[in-house]
Amino acid sequence: MSTQLELARAGQITPQMRAVALAEELDAESIRAGVAAGHIVIPNNPVRPGLRAVGIGAGLRTKVNASIGTSSDLCDIVAECAKARAAEEEQADTLMELSAGGDLDAIRRAVLASTNLPVGNVPLYQAFCETSRKYGDPNKMDPEYLFDLIEQQCADGMSFMAIHCGINLYTIERLKKQGYRYGGLVSKGGTYMVSWMMSNGRENPLYEQFDRVAKILTKYDVVLSLGNGIRAGAIDDSHDRAQMAELIINCELAEEGRKLGCQMMVEGPGHVPLDEIEANILIEKRMSGNAPYYMLGPLPTDIGAGYDHITQAIGAAISSKAGADLVCYITPAEHLALPNEQDVREGVRAARLACHVGDIVKLGDRARHRDREMALARRDMDWAAEFQQALFPDVARSIRASRMPAAEDTCTMCGELCANRNGNRLFQPYMTGDRIRS
């Protein structure tokens, strides 16, 4: 079986490329060229026929990922499937199943069956969880078991995988020499891999045998998302030597993976102050040959607990404008608890709004035309048209319905003092060009 990358290089426009072109209002040849260059990926494991085709990369709308999954404290398959459906209903573009508690095979397969979205995961979670259950020590993980597990999860239908290939002994040495960190290590998979390497005195097998990882994923046309195991968990750790060492390695591996026919994506960077976000994206794009960049957050402050979906939205808007391709949502529960279904909905909505704000700059009129139509509808007090253009029409309708005005063509914010209604009376004779609604 050939991957989307291999088919694109051979000059073939696949049904998935056509579907992405239609969704993005672009021509199919431009999508093929982007995939062939490694600038666009399409997570598309044929094990799941009829999967929604989602393009991630240069020139496309910034996509939103929603993450769900159990923990050792809270494990409810029904709840996780409900969260997966909620993420799809709120129009997330991809889903990550990140369970670390319960029957991990059963949970993964149930989530895959409950959604039509491309689903990703982190194989290290199950590898270390199962090893700990069996031996009482995650550091006893057998690398052969890890590779077998990656293949099994691909065969189950995962469309992309965050695999921590960029952590190596050199990276760990950077952590030691810089005196560790303010925010420590915040990647579960990354921290377990660091622990395994230090305990066993061995190199990361995912780095050491990278070709093997890429070949397994190529077999199933699964996108290899190079995991950000050393990402900053505090803004004062942003762009420290350890994080940059991993980013350099991941960018090199993105190039190597493409040579093997594997669709490649790079992850980063965690907590980043506003003035560093654009530079981070520029560095990744330059060093990786413009590989799609999957932003985890980013969070531009550390003190937003309870409102970190807003913290993330600020960072995501800057990221989208600067060229990020996929952002992972953050929910109000981040840093506090396992998200529930409502948290998932709020997280997706905030991230979608933030990405649109950035896309207005990144994509120009392809994104901005909707705002123009909303402006005209608002000016003319056309409520049906307003709800049609709103990103969250059901929420908008509900709020208006709960506080209806005395006059239908106003709202209870202004009532008789409605600026638009009064302004329209004054300037209606002067409206020209595209400022007249058809």
Tell me the backbone φ, ψ of residue 262, rounded to 5 degrees: -95, 135
pLDDT tens track of the chain, all 438 residues?
799 999 999 999 999 999 999 999 999 999 999 999 999 999 999 999 989 999 999 999 999 999 999 999 999 999 999 999 999 999 999 999 999 999 999 999 999 999 999 999 999 999 999 999 999 999 999 999 999 999 999 999 999 999 999 999 999 999 999 999 999 999 999 999 999 999 999 999 999 999 999 999 999 999 999 999 999 999 999 999 999 999 999 999 999 999 999 999 999 999 999 999 999 999 999 999 999 999 999 999 999 999 999 999 999 999 999 999 999 999 999 999 999 999 999 999 999 999 999 999 999 999 999 999 999 999 999 999 999 999 999 999 999 999 998 888 888 998 888 898 889 889 988 989 888 876
Are 141 and 127 in contact, with CB atoms under 8 Å apart?
A: yes
Q: Which two tokens stand for residue 30?
A: 């431009």
Distance in angstroms (rounded) separating the CA atoms of residues 312 and 299: 5
All domains of the chain in start order, with CATH: 4-363 (3.20.20.540), 371-435 (no CATH)
Tell me the backbone φ, ψ of residue 66, rounded to 5 degrees: -110, 130
Q: Which two tokens stand for residue 371?
A: 């705002």
Task: Say what the pLDDT of residue 50 is.
Answer: 87
Pick the closest to residue 14 from 44, 37, 39 (CA basis): 44
DSSP state at residue 202: -
Are 75 and 102 in contact, with CB atoms under 8 Å apart?
A: yes
Are 240 and 178 in contact, with CB atoms under 8 Å apart?
A: yes
SS3 269: strand
Which parts of 233-328 fold into alpha helices (H)?
241-259, 274-288, 308-322
Between helix 143-156 and helix 210-219 the angle, nearest 10°, is 20
Overall pTM > 0.85: yes
Distance in angstroms (rounded) separating the CA atoms of residues 228 and 230: 6
Distance in angstroms (rounded) separating the CA atoms of residues 19 and 426: 46
Are 163 and 229 in contact, with CB atoms under 8 Å apart?
A: no
Distance in angstroms (rounded) separating the CA atoms of residues 391 and 371: 10
Distance in angstroms (rounded) separating the CA atoms of residues 408 and 392: 21
Task: Say what the pLDDT of residue 410 is.
Answer: 84
Other CB atoms within a 10 A radius of the CB of residue 143 amount to: 17
Distance, first Cα to last Cα, the chain: 50
Residue 402's H or E segment, with its range, is helix 393-402
Handedness of CA 400, 402, 403, 405 (dihedral sign): positive
292-304 burial, b for 16+ CB within 10 Å, e for fewer?
bbbbbbbbbebeb
Task: Please give the biggest Cα pair distance in the chain.
Answer: 80
